[in-house]
Amino acid sequence: MSVAQESLSTAIDELTNIFADRITTNVSVRDTHSRDESWHHPHKPDAVIFPHTTEEVSKIVTVCARYKTPIIAYGTGTSLEGNVIPHHGGIVVDLDRMNQVLRVNVEDLDCTVQARVTRKQLNEHIRDQGIFFPIDPGADASLGGMAATRASGTNAVRYGTMRENVLGLTVVLADGRIIKTSRRARKSAAGYDLTRLFVGSEGTLGIITEVTLKLYGIPEAMASAVCSFDDLKGAIDTVIQTIQMGIPIARIELLDDVQMDAVNKYSDLNYAVKDTLFLEFHGSENGVKEQAEFVQTIASDNTGGEFKWTTKPEERSKLWAARHDVTYATKSIRPGCEVWATDVCVPISNLANCILETKEDLKDSFLIAPLVGHVGDGNFHLGFVINREDPKELEEAERLNDRLVMRALAMDGTCTGEHGIGLGKMKFLTAEHGESVGVMREIKKSLDPLNIMNPGKIFSL
Amino acid sequence: MSVAQESLSTAIDELTNIFADRITTNVSVRDTHSRDESWHHPHKPDAVIFPHTTEEVSKIVTVCARYKTPIIAYGTGTSLEGNVIPHHGGIVVDLDRMNQVLRVNVEDLDCTVQARVTRKQLNEHIRDQGIFFPIDPGADASLGGMAATRASGTNAVRYGTMRENVLGLTVVLADGRIIKTSRRARKSAAGYDLTRLFVGSEGTLGIITEVTLKLYGIPEAMASAVCSFDDLKGAIDTVIQTIQMGIPIARIELLDDVQMDAVNKYSDLNYAVKDTLFLEFHGSENGVKEQAEFVQTIASDNTGGEFKWTTKPEERSKLWAARHDVTYATKSIRPGCEVWATDVCVPISNLANCILETKEDLKDSFLIAPLVGHVGDGNFHLGFVINREDPKELEEAERLNDRLVMRALAMDGTCTGEHGIGLGKMKFLTAEHGESVGVMREIKKSLDPLNIMNPGKIFSL
């Protein structure tokens, strides 16, 4: 047994003394924790442990630090860039049992949850009080995981991302110390913004165990709409003009014709197989009407067809369920295959060019790749439907993704709007951030000198 | 001459070789750079230097690093906690000549400016294009300084603070390296959020030389209103209910009776000498009307008197000019004195208690202290009018401020909503952030190992 293996084995023994049957080396549990929802190849951890409290997480980290054992925090496993895959082995800290809503304050429109509370669970918990948490990445992800990935999704165009909606965090650092990054005031100029440092750090600087979030009053009125377009450029121009006019739209999602076909088949719907916008408006009765009429005019000036809008909750739910099932709809195009989701985001003035050049690129490829996007933010995804065991398909997806990322960077955009760097985007980090990556490395080294927190993610050291 | 003095002198010589007459040890220039707008005692730097470009700032830092010479970035000198006072001496880098708007993109609603562009200068520059930058701390501060202090002000309740409105920064690090913290996409999940790390770092991690900012379309309609109240609690409850109802108010400022008296006298106005709200509404014609009527109803349910509202630009300007001159109005209560401005911010559910307990406290004091606040954020200021040469007055202001900060912290608030820690709030940082301050220190040490960037601010090492 190597020194490293011996240390790992001692760490597991020590943790077993403390956690008894809440730590396991069972193969099927390790297998469940070897993957996320991406195309990245799985890798099993050496053990999985289930803490109940922040203090227990601190104990785990303290033991692991002693033996330099890698620690990977795990929420729902819905990451899309291999962010939670323990590809160096080590111990997965599954926060499954830390799923309590700790505090809701309607007056202050905020709450504190344990990291494993999911967004749907939170919304279920607070709905009766007339409030909601808007950030919606599609998957019913854990709020700790969403903070760690700086997630966003369909509502970000109006409500911001996790960056704007996390008020504070409880974090276990790489040496076991427990910190709270902020108090509950809506703003503060007291010292470095540690909240934002940990939001998006993907578990590489510490483990988020509690999250304090902004909440919002459920709008007086909500309306959804669907509009299909004769050409893709018309749909995109509608988005650009809507944003530039400052219309406070709550959701504006683009699905191209390929995506609409998959959605129709998967969700048994009969939308036109055309480039389509799904929209949502929040506000007062009058405000929503005003917004919808405004956007309708913009759409009809841009080859938009009938603007079907509804305020009926069941119709709205049906529409957004179809939108949320896009990943599954895409997978169903080729059962048994994986989806490689791209994630660039560009300034909105470059959105049309970025999408149209990308579609040109796809024309010559043998891969199928529906397009869906949170286009109000300039963010869109291709879903390459691939058999990840076929090197030719992987290579082709990589080639197209490389070109897409470089195109977005040349347009002053980012390689990832919301999925994070994980394993999949590491090679682009320096192309995007240049010398700044050196600063990120220095921060990582100062806060995790042993490199035990989700090692090998974001950048190698 | 001590070793330190010799090093300093050599640094100044080397910089003189490069910058010629753009570095000076002239006493009156040093004196101008010895102070900010706070009560904190001035301290002269050893030299003042005027770079033109980011590359020149990098050269300055490189020389200073070689001789371990303290470097203090200086914008307009309008900080309120001694943030720019070079109290360990060293070289002040006055960014005065870095005052160019580099780029404005109306389509993307963003721009990039050199750090010394002031907010008014920017708004003057872009007004013709129908867009504006909302963050308004009162003073016509530089945008680099506002980023460094995480400033906010009257519009933050609707538009957020510098935290939410800086898209990216160019920063010269403590070893002279130049980094860009972000590209222009509206959101990104690519690596650590260095933008937010430098926003609010008060020049202790690097010198901000360029700022990329979000801009907004000038609203179709804007209306301002003034409403005075029979009792302070009624005014505060109006604020709390307005925020809790989710009304997207653009400004909601509280001035107590003492402050209104000073405002009337200074700005030659005749408002009622009562606790008063200054309000502003942005939106469509209908939206503004709807908002204003809503708040009017809330106000009249809470002892509010006549709700005087106007959409006339000149009347709106007059109102907000009076609001912005509050500091001068306060100073004019006792000519020749200084104003010690407090800056707590609490969750809005605690705002009434925090303000009312504070007013109780003031009753027994011999100091005058008008109250003004960005109450929609839970943020308010007392302005202690003091003779800073009188130890008794200083001691009394300190006693009251200590009690105020501890009260705000006990209510889960912050010691500073928008002024920063500087020199004045250092003693509260651990009380507010606990173990997190250790993390801030580790970051400081890793990015500025020689402790030359604005040393002795935020925390001592």
Summarize pLDDT for B111-161 with one digit per residue, the tens: 999 999 999 999 999 999 999 999 999 999 999 999 999 999 999 999 999
10 Å Cβ neighbour count for B437? 20
Q: Which of B129, B152, B192 to mutate to test the interface with A (most CBs of A within 10 A)?
A: B192
- The pTM of this model reads 0.97
Q: What is the pLDDT of residue B108?
A: 94
Rg (C-alpha) for chain A, rounded Å, is: 22
- Reported as a single tens digit per residue, the pLDDT across B277-300 is 999 999 989 989 999 999 999 999
* DSSP states along A251-276: EEEEE-HHHHHHHHHHHT----SSEE
Residue B412: list chain A partners with CB under 8 A.
183-185
**A359-373: average pLDDT:** 96
CB spacing of A197 vs B192 below 8 angstroms: yes
Of chain B, the percentage scoring pLDDT greater than 90 comes to 96
Q: What is the pLDDT of residue A73?
A: 98
* Cα→Cα distances B435→A72, A208, B211, Å: 23, 15, 31
More confident residue, A167 or B244: A167
Q: What is the pLDDT of residue B2?
A: 83
Helices (H) then strands (E): counts for chain A? 17, 18
Residue B107: list chain A partners with CB under 8 A.
240, 244, 348-349
**Could you give the 3-state DSSP secondary structure of residue B383?**
strand
Closest CA to B249 of B288, B216, B209: B288
Nearest residue of chain A to residue B345 (CA atoms): A185
Give the number of A-B residue pairs with CB atoms closer than 8 Å.
Answer: 278
- Report which DSSP code applies to A49: E
Residue A348: list chain B partners with CB under 8 A.
107-108, 186
CB spacing of A191 vs B216 below 8 angstroms: no
CB spacing of A189 vs B160 below 8 angstroms: no
Q: Which of A159, A439, A441, A460 to mutate to test the interface with B (most CBs of B within 10 A)?
A: A439
Residue A245: list chain B partners with CB under 8 A.
217
Q: Which of B152, B164, B181, B186 to mutate to test the interface with A (most CBs of A within 10 A)?
A: B186
Closest CA to A325 of A366, A267, A367: A267
Q: What is the pLDDT of residue B245?
A: 86
**Average pLDDT taken over every residue of chain A:** 96
d(CA A196, CA A150): 9
d(CA A292, CA A286): 10
Amino acid at residue number B24: T
For B101-217, CATH number?
Answer: 3.30.465.10
Nearest CA distance, A184 vs chain B (angstrom): 6
Q: How confident is the model at residue B461 (pLDDT cuts 50, 70, 90)?
A: confident
B105, B191, B408 member nearest A458 (Cβ):
B191
Side-by-side strand order, sheet with A91-94 = A23-24, A47-49, A91-94, A71-74
More confident residue, B327 or B397: B397
Return the residue matching tokens 């606040």: B373
Q: Are B344 and B267 in contact (CB under 8 A)?
A: no
Q: Are A54 and A180 in contact (CB under 8 A)?
A: no
**Could you give the 3-state DSSP secondary structure of residue A24?**
strand
**A350-363: average pLDDT:** 96
Return the residue matching tokens 């605690």: B350
Q: What is the pLDDT of residue A62?
A: 98
Using the predicted structure, report yes or no on whether residue B1 has a pLDDT greater than 80: no
**A378-384: average pLDDT:** 98
Q: How confident is the model at residue B308 (pLDDT cuts 50, 70, 90)?
A: confident
Residue A156: list chain B partners with CB under 8 A.
187
**A210-225: average pLDDT:** 95
Closest CA to B422 of B452, B457, B453: B457
CB spacing of A436 vs B181 below 8 angstroms: yes
Both structure tokens of B344: 């707590």
d(CA A282, CA A280): 7
Of chain B, the percentage scoring pLDDT greater than 70 comes to 100
- Reported as a single tens digit per residue, the pLDDT across A90-120 is 999 999 999 999 999 999 999 999 999 999 9
**Could you give the 3-state DSSP secondary structure of residue B3?**
helix
* Cα→Cα distances B157→B143, B378, B447, Å: 19, 9, 33
Q: Measure the N-to-C terminal CA separation of chain A; round to a whole number of Å.
A: 26
Nearest CA distance, B258 vs chain A (angstrom): 26
ipTM attached to this prediction? 0.97
Residues ≥6 apart with Cβ < 8 Å to A117: A99, A100, A101, A142, A143, A144
10 Å Cβ neighbour count for A135? 25
**B336-341: average pLDDT:** 93
Nearest CA distance, B148 vs chain A (angstrom): 10
Side-by-side strand order, sheet with B23-24 = B23-24, B47-49, B91-94, B71-74
Both structure tokens of A350: 């470059």
SS3 content of chain B, % helix, strand, coil (to 5): 40, 20, 40
Nearest CA distance, A336 vs chain B (angstrom): 29
d(CA B409, CA B428): 9
**Could you give the 3-state DSSP secondary structure of residue B18?**
helix
Residues ≥6 apart with Cβ < 8 Å to A309: A223, A224, A225, A226, A279, A292, A296
Both structure tokens of B298: 């809330």
Residue A192: list chain B partners with CB under 8 A.
197, 200-201, 205, 439-440, 443, 458
**A449-457: average pLDDT:** 98
d(CA A159, CA A175): 35
d(CA B46, CA B16): 13
Question: Which residues, in sequence order, are bridge partners of residue A221?
Answer: A283
Nearest CA distance, A357 vs chain B (angstrom): 18
Q: What is the pLDDT of residue B3?
A: 81
Q: Which of B167, B188, B196, B454 to mutate to test the interface with A (most CBs of A within 10 A)?
A: B188
CB spacing of A189 vs B196 below 8 angstroms: no
Phi-psi region of B365 (alpha: psi -120 to 50; beta: other; left: phi over 0): beta
Helices (H), B150-252: 156-159, 162-165, 194-198, 232-244
Q: How confident is the model at residue B30 (pLDDT cuts 50, 70, 90)?
A: very high
CB spacing of B183 vs A417 below 8 angstroms: no
Q: Are B93 and B49 in contact (CB under 8 A)?
A: yes
Query: In this structure, what is the dihedral angle of CA atoms A199, A203, A204, A208, given to the nearest 10 degrees?
Result: 70
For A3-96, CATH number?
Answer: 3.30.43.10
- The CB-side HSE value for B263 (13 A sphere, CA atoms) comes to 29
**A217-234: average pLDDT:** 95
Nearest residue of chain B to residue A241 (CA atoms): B107
Residue B201: list chain A partners with CB under 8 A.
192
CB spacing of A414 vs B188 below 8 angstroms: yes
B108, B196, B414 member nearest A183 (Cβ):
B414
Q: Map out the domains of chain A as residue ranges.
A: 3-96, 101-217, 221-410
CB spacing of B349 vs A418 below 8 angstroms: no
Q: What is the pLDDT of residue A45?
A: 98
Residue B108: list chain A partners with CB under 8 A.
347-349
d(CA A134, CA B395): 47
- Greatest extent of chain B over all pairs of C-alpha atoms, in Å: 71
Nearest CA distance, A21 vs chain B (angstrom): 32
CB spacing of B414 vs A160 below 8 angstroms: no
Select the highest-mean-pLDDT range: A322-336, B327-341, B420-434.
B420-434
Q: What is the pLDDT of residue B4?
A: 85
d(CA A225, CA A278): 6
Residue A181: list chain B partners with CB under 8 A.
436
Question: Which residues, in sequence order, are bridge partners of residue B172?
Answer: B178, B207
Return the residue matching tokens 């959605």: A263
Is the dihedral angle over the CA atoms B253, B255, B261, B262 positive or is it negative? negative
A194, A429, A446 member nearest B190 (Cβ):
A429
Residues ≥6 apart with Cβ < 8 Å to B401: B340, B342, B382, B384
Q: What angle do CA A388, A326, A120 make, to 5 degrees?
A: 110
CB spacing of A435 vs B177 below 8 angstroms: yes
A191, A246, A442 member nearest B217 (Cβ):
A246
d(CA B296, CA A337): 59
* Cα→Cα distances B27→A81, B32, B86, B283, Å: 58, 9, 14, 51
**B436-455: average pLDDT:** 98
Least confident of A312-321, B98-107, B208-217: A312-321
Residue A435: list chain B partners with CB under 8 A.
177-179
d(CA A370, CA B17): 61
Question: Which residues, in sequence order, are bridge partners of residue B380?
Answer: B373
10 Å Cβ neighbour count for B303? 18
Using the predicted structure, report yes or no on whether residue B325 has a pLDDT greater than 80: yes
Using the predicted structure, report yes or no on whether residue A276 has a pLDDT greater than 80: yes
10 Å Cβ neighbour count for A321? 10
Nearest residue of chain A to residue B415 (CA atoms): A190
Nearest CA distance, B283 vs chain A (angstrom): 10
Residue A447: list chain B partners with CB under 8 A.
439, 442-443
Nearest residue of chain A to residue B130 (CA atoms): A245
Side-by-side strand order, sheet with A379-386 = A304-310, A221-229, A275-283, A251-255, A371-374, A379-386, A338-341
Strand ranges for B297-337 from DSSP E: 304-310
Q: What is the pLDDT of residue A4?
A: 85
Both structure tokens of B318: 């007059």
Nearest CA distance, A436 vs chain B (angstrom): 5
Q: Which of A164, A192, A289, A459 to mutate to test the interface with B (most CBs of B within 10 A)?
A: A192
**Average pLDDT taken over every residue of chain B:** 96
Q: What is the pLDDT of residue A2?
A: 83
Is A390 buried (19+), middle (13-18) or exposed (0-12) by CB count in 10 A? exposed
- Report which DSSP code applies to A432: H
B110, B346, B435 member nearest A179 (Cβ):
B435
d(CA B406, CA B393): 20
CB spacing of B416 vs A189 below 8 angstroms: yes
Nearest residue of chain B to residue A146 (CA atoms): B189
Using the predicted structure, report yes or no on whether residue A1 has a pLDDT greater than 80: no
B190, B244, B445 member nearest A433 (Cβ):
B190
Nearest CA distance, A345 vs chain B (angstrom): 6
Question: Which residues, in sequence order, are bridge partners of residue B212?
Answer: B112, B168
Q: Does domain A221-410 have CATH number 3.40.462.10?
A: yes
**A184-210: average pLDDT:** 98
With b meaning 16 or more CB within 10 Å and e meaning fewer, what string describes B281-293? bbbbeebbbbbbe
Nearest CA distance, A341 vs chain B (angstrom): 14
Q: What is the pLDDT of residue B246?
A: 85
**B229-244: average pLDDT:** 93
d(CA B246, CA A79): 33
Q: Are A292 and A309 in contact (CB under 8 A)?
A: yes
Q: What is the pLDDT of residue A119?
A: 98
Please identify, in words, the CATH class of the domain defined by B219-327.
alpha beta
Nearest CA distance, A172 vs chain B (angstrom): 11
